[in-house]
Amino acid sequence: MNAPSHAHHLRPAIDLRPVPDAFINALQERFGAQCSTAMAVREQHGTDESIYETTPPSAVIYAESVQDVADAVKLAAEYKVPVIPYGAGSSLEGHLLAVQGGISIDVNRMDKVLSVNAEDLTVTVQPGITRKALNEAIKHEGLFFPIDPGADASIGGMTATRASGTNAVRYGTMRENVLALEVVTANGTVVRTGTRAKKSSAGYDLTRLMVGSEGTLGLFTEITLKLYPLPEAISAAICSFPTIEGAVRSVIQTIQLGVPIARCELIDANSVRMVNAHSKLGLREEHLLLMEFHGSPAGVKEQAETVQEIASEFGGNDFEWATTPEERTRLWTARHNAYFAAIQSKPGCRAISTDTCVPISRLADCLLDSVKEADDSGIPYFLVGHVGDGNFHFGYLIDPNNPDEHQRAEALNHALVSRALTLEGTCTGEHGVGLHKMDFLLAEAGVPAVDMMRTIKKALDPDNILNPGKIFTI
């Protein structure tokens, strides 16, 4: 995702460690042109899609092999300099920022499909490949990788944040779809976790430990993923609702009845208006469910008819089909561009983006109270959600030069996450903790659990050089 031009405004807490000249010299000697200290390059690698101000590293290494990554980390370990992995730069919670200084290891040149095992439905890739490039490379096998966080994120970044997205209700998240990893640890050792077998009872599950560790326990250099056969039939439908409650209750009933819906997205009326203007669509400007069904032609027809019946019970109308690939792509592209549509709706604004996930039975309670708070605040916002699995996103649109608006948006974020935790949900369904949700992780997991995480971190990274200052404080 290319970052839109904007003035970042919130300065993260910075605690820079010294980066010795001898270390930079050693990097330049080892990597030559693959090492850059140019300010423009450093700033690019110290910027993500979060509200935080750019915080550049001291140097950027363009890794092209596992040996490059291992050598860079060994040098960093020798000089006790922080290391931050960098993929597509599309994270939303400050994951990439060099808040304690150090270097960025850019893995975008490590973008190959290493092996496809079509019979076993697995693929092994390098971390820099993006999800779209992966799907393009395997479609001739009749296979696809379903995890779709919206942004064309790198597979390494998706693994690091335990990403999910629009297809998670049917296919799960990165947690369920990563089988094995090759990881460079804090001392530069290359470790393999997991195998291509679909299950294992052998020892600690190090793969699951690494998935979602946000670059704090190791840098991924190979990732083995599950694949799925391309569905025989795919059908998408949209349905408008006069109330958010009607849309959400339809989703809850659909899931509770066991309909195997593949995607189920809520787009609130604000977002529909923004998307119409941005993507030149003529969608009815009410709350919208955008759904997709995968399977055999008969199965898809049956699923869709069931959902249409449920939706009509809750006030759903204008049930429209998009059966051609072009029409489906147009609708999903519009959904994925909701963030940019929102940003463009208020020139010069920034979005404080937040996400939570709650048990599906509590979704209506959480959403309706959060919508009322946002409406009462007077701050423009957009709401989109992968509501089939209880996950939704608010984006509060603020003037980055107005501290009062920023404070009010953060208060809304705090109330929303606190409500989700009260309803036995989580502070982040897919964005990750990064910098922005460290306090919420403590509230969600509790001090003993976060202390256990710290113990693991200290054991695997005693000098705290791997993406320090993220998830929790040391």
Q: What is the CATH number of the domain that holds 37?
A: 3.30.43.10
- Each residue's pLDDT tens digit, 317-332: 888 888 788 888 888 8
266 shares its domain with 337: yes
337 shares its domain with 402: yes
81 shares its domain with 187: no
129 shares its domain with 241: no
Question: Does 314 fall in a domain?
Answer: yes
Q: What is the pLDDT of residue 61?
A: 98
Note whether 235 and 302 are within 8 A (CB).
no
Question: Does 175 fall in a domain?
Answer: yes
Question: Does 5 fall in a domain?
Answer: no
Question: Does 6 fall in a domain?
Answer: no
Q: Where are the beta strands (DSSP E) in 358-447?
A: 381-386, 391-398
Q: Which two tokens stand for residue 101?
A: 């200084």
- d(Cα 250, Cα 315) in Å, to the nearest integer? 9
183 shares its domain with 250: no
Question: Does 457 fall in a domain?
Answer: no
218 shares its domain with 275: no
175 shares its domain with 195: yes
Q: Which two tokens stand for residue 21?
A: 């000249």
Q: What is the pLDDT of residue 334?
A: 82
Q: At what angle do helices 363-377 and 403-422 cross, to 10 degrees?
A: 160
Question: Does 472 fall in a domain?
Answer: no
198 shares its domain with 102: no
224 shares its domain with 241: no
Q: Which of 207, 229, 251 is the last residue of a domain?
A: 229
Residues 6+ apart with CB under 8 A from 82: 17, 76, 98, 100, 101, 102, 103, 464, 465, 466, 467, 468
Q: Supply the CATH number for residue 314's domain.
A: 3.40.462.10
With vertex at residue 336, the alpha carbon angle to CA 367 and CA 386, rounded to the nearest 5 degrees, is 35
Q: What is the pLDDT of residue 9?
A: 55
pLDDT > 70 fraction of the chain, expressed in percent and rounded: 98
With vertex at residue 163, the alpha carbon angle to CA 157 and CA 167, rounded to the nearest 5 degrees, is 130
Q: What is the pLDDT of residue 4?
A: 35
Q: What is the pLDDT of residue 329?
A: 87
Residue ranges, the chain, pLDDT below 70: 1-9
Instruction: Return the SS3 of 176.
Output: helix
59 shares its domain with 92: yes
Q: Structurally, how many domains does the chain consist of?
A: 3
Note whether 185 and 435 are within 8 A (CB).
no
Question: Does 468 fall in a domain?
Answer: no
Q: Which of 106, 141, 168 is the last residue of a domain?
A: 106
211 shares its domain with 320: no
- d(Cα 294, Cα 296) in Å, to the nearest integer? 7
Q: Which of 174, 197, 229 is the last residue of a domain?
A: 229
Q: What is the pLDDT of residue 2?
A: 37
Question: Does 447 fall in a domain?
Answer: no
Q: What is the pLDDT of residue 100?
A: 97
Q: Supply the CATH number for residue 197's domain.
A: 3.30.465.10
The parent domain of residue 187 ranges over 113-229
- Each residue's pLDDT tens digit, 122-170: 999 999 999 999 999 999 999 999 999 888 999 999 999 999 988 999 9
- Phi, psi (rounded to 5 degrees) for 463: -95, 5
Q: What is the pLDDT of residue 319?
A: 86
299 shares its domain with 178: no
